[in-house]
Structure formats: C-alpha cells, structure tokens
Structure 1
C-alpha cells in the first residue's frame, strides 16, 4: 500500500483531531445542557405544583372544568398543542377533578407524593411531580414530556455547535491553503535538484525557506560539499596514481626489451631480470600504499569499535621485520616503549601500518651506520633517525601525497607520511616534524 504524502497525513491528522475535539465538545455540551435543563424544568414544575397545591379545590363544581376550557379557548393560539407541560388534580380516592384539558387528562393517579416519578402517558415518557394540596385532601400532579426536554437540549447544543462547525470548516480550508503554500518550498527545492546537472554540486539556496526546512538544506549542502571534496580528491588521486605508476611501468617495459635483446648475454639477462624484480616490487608497494590511502580518505579503513593496542608487541614485530634491512646498512635500532601511549585504543592494524611507514622511511633514508630510535611514551610516539636532516623549506610539504624532496636516491612512492598523518588524525592525533639534534624526527602526539 502506497504511503500517503506528508501533506495529506498532516491534513488528515489535523482534521481528525479537530473533529474529535468537536465531538467531545458536543457530548460535553449535551450532558451539561441536559443537566441544566432538567434542573430548570424541575424547578418550574415545583413552582407550578406549589401554586396549584395552595389553591382551594373544595368548592370546585362539575362545570368548572368546562368553564375554564371556554375561557382558555378564547385566548389566541390557545388551541395549539402544548407538549411542554401538563397538570391534573385528584381527590384522595384517585378521581380526577380537574386538569389542563390537554395532557394532564391522561395522567394516571399515583398515591405516592413528595417526589418526581417517570410515567408513560400515551406511550410517551413523562416526568411528573406529585404533591399533596395544602389541606391534604387532594393530590396535585404536574408533569412534562421528556421528549420535549430532549428537543430543547438538542436545539441548544445545535445552536452552540453550529458556529463551531462553521469555524472549523473555515479553519480547515485555511489550513489546507497555508499548508499547501508552505509545502511549495519542498516542491521548489525538488524541482531545483531535478534540473541540476550531475556535476553541479553547488550549495542549495535557502532563500524564502521556512526555518523548519533550513536544517535540511544545511545538511544537504554539507553533504554536497563533502561529496564535491571527495570527487575532487578521487580525481586528484587517480591523476597522481596514474602519473606515479607510469614511471615504474615504463622502466619495466624497458627492462623487458633489454631482456628480449640480450638473448646470448647471460649477465645482461640477469641484470635486466633483477631490475624487473625491483620494479615489480616497487609497483606492488606503490599499489599497496595507494589502496591504503584510498581507504583512509574514504573513511572505510576505520573500525567501528576500538580495541586495546599493544605497542610493545607492534614494536617487537616491526623490529624483527626490519632486522635484515638494518643489518644490511649496519644500522642500530633502539626502542623505548612504555605501557601507555597517546593512543591506547584504536585500530591496531592501522596503527601498525603507521609505525611501519615511519620505520621504513627511517631505515631507507638514513645512511649506513646510522641509529634509528623508536620512543613511545604517554605523550608522544617518536621515530628518530640520525645522520640525515630535511631542508626547512620541505617540511611543510612532507605530508602531501607523492611529495619527495629533490635528490632522493632511494625508491619510494611519496605516500608514507601522508598515510601516517591520516591514520594519526583518525585516532585524534597530529603529526609533527623536528630537525633539531643529530637527525630528523617524526612525532605523533595528541591534538
């Protein structure tokens, strides 16, 4: 089943609540009005019964009823049926001696007095009060048809609720008009989005929009801004990746041609094969770094739940991994790892990759016999390599993708420090560089 639109649901909700309130008001008015009308007519019956009870009925002749009927009949409109009230006078034996010549003549005698009783009179329910006359020789009955009270109550409630109903209909019409007019902002916004080109990620205008919609447009503009930034990063990433992969692939192609030409020269073939192996290793390393950087920039590399990080275990594993490279360059690795670090909960795989990139750069770009130091304390993570420094003009560019200072002899992708910076940022840290002392240091500390 298709879900109704928000506009229709709001109108139905408003209409339903308004009708419910109107019905409740009607019921409340009915019960209140009926109670007041019953009180009013009961008092009226008691007053009339009191007047009749104080009269002297002992001297009433047989012709008194006929004479009274002629007198009343001579009054204008007196012949119209009156269902509002009726009365009758009975003697103690239950004989009716006088009545109103309309309704009271059908009353049935009741010896009980001093209270109201509901009786059926000509198949209609009447409310009758029975009282004794002042001399206790007669019984007075004054009654009223209950249907008349109901009609009066309905008339009162109708007069009360009709203006309410008219006002409700006018209000409903106004609500339909104004809700439709306010929702036109949504339609205008939808049309603006439909008319846009796929590459148009400019902010949406919130001019003339209601304040309730502006948070939505603000969120959409923020999303468009992030999408635009992501697309620009992806374009730049693809362009830079293609440029960086071109060089090793070209070198591989050249070595393949050398390998094909050196059919009888075993030394040349071995040299070309060795260089091809190095080129393939460089390509593999570059692709690995590119994939990791892509995940970091897209936010896919961070796990939802942080885990405890064992820095001694990470440092020990990396020391074993780079032992051969250190011995090949006669370098010394010093480690100083405490139990606490700037990051104690996070993604262990990413943090290990961060430290691996720092250690890889330190070993690769330090001269033979240099000392590489890894120090982890509660305040910072530092990787220091002696015997080498970076020119101050290059320091601010070191975290840029594919940046490599001029004059580098070692192979590299220029992505390592960019990856380190992004992993640090994901864990609430920042990356700093220090050229003081006998070498160069990269420091990871809390922001």
Structure 2
C-alpha cells in the first residue's frame, strides 16, 4: 500500500497547486475589477478629447505595494496614449470590442507576468471607444497559492506515514487469525479429513473455510468408497483365484487325459467368472468415481436400447433365451436426454445380463422404451420370466455384492448396483416389481424412470 500512496502523493500535490492557483486568483481578480471600475469614473471625454486626471485617491489606488507593481493605461479612440504605461500591451486584434464590460487576461510587462483587467468606454458622439487597462503583477497571488500548498503538504507529510503505520498494524492484527488457521492446517496429519473449526476464523473467510470443509467431506466420502471398493474387490476376487489355483494343481497331478480335460474346463469357467467379476468391478468404479467427469451428449434412448439388445443377442442365443425389444424406433429430438452414452449402455447391458442369467433356458426377456408425450417422462424397462426378487430383498439387491438367496446362478452381485449408480447420476429412479404376479415364476420387471427434459416438461 505504501508504493501506490507514494506514487499518488506527487499527483495530489500537483492537483492541489492547480486548485490553489484558482483559489488565490479569485479575490485578487475581484479587487482588480473593482479598482478598474473606480478608474472609469475619472475618465472624461469631451468633443473627441480624452482627459484622465488622477486625484489623491486614484494615486493611492495605483501606488505599488510591497509585493506587486500596478500598471495603468488609457488609449483614446485613435489608439494614442493618454495616460499610463506605454509598455502595457493592448488586447488582441481579434478580440471583440464590448463597451462597459470588464474582462481579464494574463500578459507580460517588462518580463513580469501580470494579470490585466480592461474595458472599453464609449462617449456620446464618438465613433470609437476608449480603452482603459489596469494590470498587476502576480506576487501576492503566488504567495497565497504557496501558503495554501504548504498548508496541505505539511499535514500530508505527517498523515501519510501515520496512515501507513495504522494500516500495517491493522492488517497484521487482521491477518493473525489467518496465520493461526494456516498453522492448524499445516499441523494436520495427512489422513485427517475432519472439518476445520469455524469458531475462530475471520468472518470474511468464513465462506472459504465452509467450502473447504464441504470439499473435505466429499473427499472423505470418496476415499471411504474407494477403500470399501478395494476391500470388496479383494474379497470377491479371492475365491475365484483360489479356485483357479486349486484346479491348476489338480490338473498337474492328473494322469488321466479325461480328468485333465475336466480340470481345464473348470479352470476356463473359473477364469470366465473372474473376468466377469473384474469387468463388473471396473464398471462400478467408473460409475461411482468418474461418471460425472465423462463427456455428455444428447442421447436418444429409443436408439440406444435396441443397440444394446442387438449386442446381447449372441449371449441370449447361447443361454437359450428369447430376447426382444418393444418400443419406438426413435424419440423426438426434444426428448433426447443429456447424459453419457457409454454409462447408459452399461446400465442397460447389466439389466439384460441379469435377466438372461436368471431366466434360464427357454426364458423370455423383453426390453422396452416407453415415452409419455403429455408428461415427457421416459422409461426403460427390462422384463423376464425368471424367479424374480422377493419384495423384502429389492432394496438389498441394489447394494454391491449382495445376491438373492436360493439362486444357483453365477454372478458377482454388482449388476444392479451399477444400474442404481448410473441411474442416480442421470437423475433417474429405479423401480422393481413382479412381471407376472399370477404365475409361479413371477419374473422381474425393472423400470428406470427418467424425468422430462426441459423441452418436454409440461407447463
């Protein structure tokens, strides 16, 4: 702050000097005009002749004082000097002559700057006016201006250092809580993500500390999710990897080619389960941690879902499942959702994989896209005729690694957790119900309801 103040101080003095010149000139200009007005009373004109006789009062008026010299000049209508100093220059030739009006100008007489008051006088019968001028040097004006500048400059010499000192002391005291806050943050352990105490911080930085606490809370939740994910992943991968090792050891001991082939088949199945589990874990990690950072685009669900169904046909044929799609071929452009196409495809693929796996050979799986033109709501449905999910377990199957009891289907328990996570990131809700409540095999219908887009939202 000291640097800009020191730079502004000379500018302040220059402005003060300029203002002081105007202030100092005004009273002296009024006095000069008054004296000129008094001199006009003693100018006499008679038949073209001009007389100017100074009395005692007039001589006292023109007497030089201690500071300035006073000049006067009277020129007749022909420009001849009647009285006064011939060195006093007349007004400019281009200046408009106005009788009876007193004007002021700056000029130079004998090398000295002077302030000149002048006017023209017109007598009856004369064709040209008489010029009367009164000039005064600027000694008193400069002295008064210098006194004004001193009166302003001297206090500034005292006020400026005092102001800088007071500001410095105030800033040191005001920043002390920030220094304490800095020390508290630096003294924290790397694993300490608890909120920063907000009781002893300046009010001005309270929003900043609140934002940092919010960031710490979200970071803590993210790290907890990652730790839980790593623990669950290690637990889920431990079993298939142990099975692979056991089958490999058995294959090494076998001498019968048939038994060796069976062991190799078990190894292939265990490898497929491990690969599926790893892929599911990676999909869940991507959905939980990077879904919001992935690029978004306008997605037509009526085109996206059939594409995923077509990709799943080979697996359905292998499992002996009748897989189909019901719904429009395309939705209006205004109904296209802004989202990540890769994650949405992953969500539909997990629903189809679950439905195909639990329907069994001879099962029927149907994917649908429903669109209500009045409300703008869109729904993705995947329906199967498998055993279904009991109502009391429908919330539990949304959790990672949970599998419904009584099923003998291979899986990792991550499919519906991935569906739930991706749906939440796109503002959708997941709902489960029995597809065929009147049958023994109730089946399962999973509906993902998307809110209307701003263009299709009813007024």
Same fold (TM over 0.5): yes
Q: Deviations over 1:247-268 (max 9, x none)?
A: 0000000000110110x21111
Matched, 1:384 2:383: yes
Partner Cα separation in structure 2 for residue 428 and residue 249 of structure 1: 37
* TM-score (normalised: structure 1): 0.76
Q: 1:128 offset after TM fit, Å? A: 4.9
Q: 1:391 offset after TM fit, Å? A: 2.4
Whether the 8 Å contact between 2:42 and 2:53 is mirrored in structure 1 is no
CA distance 1:43–1:279, shift in 2 (3 Å): same
SS of residue in 1 equivalent to 2:396: coil
- Please name the residue that 1:279 is paired with: 270
Partner Cα separation in structure 2 for residue 120 and residue 418 of structure 1: 97
- Please name the residue that 1:124 is paired with: 112
Q: 1:168 offset after TM fit, Å? A: 5.6
CA distance 1:327–1:31, shift in 2 (3 Å): same
Q: 1:16 offset after TM fit, Å? A: 7.4
Further displaced range: 276-285 or 205-214:
205-214
Partner Cα separation in structure 1 for residue 140 and residue 86 of structure 2: 17
Partner Cα separation in structure 2 for residue 20 and residue 295 of structure 1: 63
1:240 maps to which of 202, 215, 232: 232
Structure 1 residues 61-80: aligned runs within 5 Å:
none
- Please name the residue that 2:184 is paired with: 192
Q: Deviations over 1:260-279 (max 9, x none)?
A: 110x2111101110111111
- Please name the residue that 1:294 is paired with: 285
- Please name the residue that 2:448 is paired with: 444
Whether the 8 Å contact between 2:42 and 2:52 is mirrored in structure 1 is no
- Please name the residue that 2:209 is paired with: 217
Partner Cα separation in structure 2 for residue 143 and residue 177 of structure 1: 55
Q: 1:125 offset after TM fit, Å? A: 2.3
Whether the 8 Å contact between 2:17 and 2:145 is mirrored in structure 1 is no
SS of residue in 2 equivalent to 1:212: helix
CA distance 1:445–1:165, shift in 2 (3 Å): farther
Matched, 1:251 2:243: yes
Q: 1:181 offset after TM fit, Å? A: 2.7
Q: 1:207 offset after TM fit, Å? A: 2.4
Matched, 1:145 2:137: yes
- Please name the residue that 2:354 is paired with: 361
* TM-score (normalised: structure 2): 0.74
Q: Deviations over 1:280-310 (max 9, x none)?
A: 1111111111112112221257532314335
Question: What is the alpha-carbon root mean square deviation over aligned residues?
Answer: 4.1
SS of residue in 2 equivalent to 1:322: helix
Structure 1 unpaired stretches of 5+ = 1-7, 70-77, 97-103
Structure 1 residues 19-418: aligned runs within 5 Å:
19=9, 22=12, 26=16, 29-30=19-20, 32-46=22-36, 49=39, 82-86=66-70, 108=87, 120=108, 123-128=111-116, 142-160=134-152, 163=155, 170-262=162-254, 264-300=255-291, 303-309=294-300, 311-312=302-303, 314-319=305-310, 321-326=312-317, 328-329=319-320, 331-338=321-328, 339-340=330-331, 344-378=337-371, 379-418=378-417
Whether the 8 Å contact between 2:106 and 2:116 is mirrored in structure 1 is yes
Whether the 8 Å contact between 1:295 and 1:301 is mirrored in structure 2 is no
Partner Cα separation in structure 1 for residue 370 and residue 119 of structure 2: 106
SS of residue in 2 equivalent to 1:445: strand
Q: Deviations over 1:408-446 (max 9, x none)?
A: 322111111111111112222121221362322211112
CA distance 1:443–1:314, shift in 2 (3 Å): closer
Q: 1:356 offset after TM fit, Å? A: 1.0
Q: What is the aligned length? A: 409
Whether the 8 Å contact between 2:308 and 2:349 is mirrored in structure 1 is no
Q: 1:206 offset after TM fit, Å? A: 2.4
Structure 2 unpaired stretches of 5+ = 45-50, 92-98, 124-130, 372-377, 452-459
Whether the 8 Å contact between 1:118 and 1:128 is mirrored in structure 2 is yes
SS of residue in 1 equivalent to 2:204: coil
CA distance 1:402–1:162, shift in 2 (3 Å): same
Q: 1:142 offset after TM fit, Å? A: 4.9
CA distance 1:419–1:111, shift in 2 (3 Å): closer
